[in-house]
A and B are shown apart, each in its own frame.
Chain A
Amino acid sequence: MALNAEESGRLAALLGGHAEQVTARWTEIVTGSLRGRLSQAELRRQVQDLHSAIATTAGQGVVDLSAESSGELRAALTELSRGRARQGFSASETTISIFALKDVLAELVQKDGGTNALHDYIAFSKLVDELGLFTFESFVRTRESLIADQAEQLLELSTPVVKLWEGVVAVPLVGTLDSARAQVVMERLLQTLVDTGSPYAIIDITGVPAVDTQVAQHILKTVVAARLMGADCIISGIRPQIAQTIVALGIEFGDIATKASLADALRHVLRLTGVETARRQPRRDV
């Protein structure tokens, strides 16, 4: 797929000789495809970077994208696709920035019209294809790493363990509970129990949209594990529909205390620990 020394020499001459014209036409074509989501000046800068990278690489002789000498070109392409991926452009909007070079080259070759114009154009075209594929691949790679980062952040964000009282911690569960999240919640809760020495934990499921047998199984496992370690768990925040689902599915919570609200659960725990929750006396007018 690589260009030989002769071809790349002609490519370098073509690009170097008409530098201004090439970047102008290239920018013009790409602008149309991006529908004004990127400023003209920035686009021009990107195109100039690419142009100089390609021209420099071609000037060095044989152009082979996988070779050592094409490092600068690869870096320029990777930077372009990474930037586009982060700015939320689609894959075709990104690769078209590269494929636009074909049109530019076609016009140039047609005008100069040497004896081996067709042969040159086909060779250049193959190179541009290669560049496009490389861009597409790094675009996808950037997107994948973005998604992986976000999934991890979501996992981190969604499972806080809060201290509610001396010796009482609470886990407000929000969102659907799958196996991976349940595992994280379980580990974090148990670790917090050990770290703080709290003998009571409240699992609040107000934010869990649906409780099926699998979710119930995860919660039960957490409770049993906490018991093995010597802590007691209370489940709170059971909404009416969820109570109905639990009964309909035949899920047994056994002797695990369940409360309707977090406040009830806290009051229950405080009563167990022997803390007096004094009711405020109504103020009497003198």
Chain B
Amino acid sequence: MENSKDIFNEKPKSSLAKALDIVSTMASKPSGFIGLAILIFHIILAITSPWFAPYDYKAINPSLMLNAPSSEFWFGTDSLGRDVFTRTILGGRTALTITFFGSIIALLWGGLLGIFCGLVGGRIDDVVMRIVDAFLSIPWILAMLLIVSLLGTTTQVLIPALGFFYGKGIVRVARAATHDVIAKDFIVSAKARGHSNLSIIWNEILPNVRDAILVEGAMRWSWMLLGFSSLSFLGFGVSPPTPDWGLMISNARGLMSFAWWAVIAPIVGLSSLIIGINLTADAFAKALGIDRSTKAPV
């Protein structure tokens, strides 16, 4: 965190120039470049795929069941005769959208609560952290499955639920980052000037802990994608016939001894996206001077 301050405080730049600086630092290393390229490819694919998908993703055709890849069906067809290529290029849209908004919710509540706890300290901090610890010790998968099975698998349930369960780890990170700056002179003098807690959070603390929280949010996006795909795989995520990689893998798994293409295509899609986000998040952390590798994935 010490390094990141230097990057930002050397000379005043517009925020766009700063952002471009960070991106070019990220792309200067091979792993960061590959990560960014994969992520951008997936985002463009997710936005544009409905326009160039060759077939209808929900068109069931029993006469075309489990066809091997051919010039007509590039990735073959699945057990219901649907085109695997069409379903694969459309399969990341739901997951990307839900986890993107989920991460923003996680960042907002986790970051703000963490900063607040770090700032006020005392009894409130103790109580909140005990509750956060308790939530951390309940496996996310049990909690998510319970919520989804009782409230349904709609977007309105999934986004807040994922946002909540992936935000509790951010509370800790934001709180620790706040503790690092709280004793510094500029905070003490802002308090002495009589600024309100809200003003101190917004003007003094936030700019200094922003990097740590953003990096955490980027990592959490990839974990949330992993969690959401696991839910889909278990049949508690996207409802059919919407194409989704997790669900496609789970459906095609039973027949993979002779129709391997129907399971390989979504595996490549999902793995490449998660690896892309991970490499990007790592490069992002390095460009901001934050070392995440000694932290546990909680």
A binds B: no
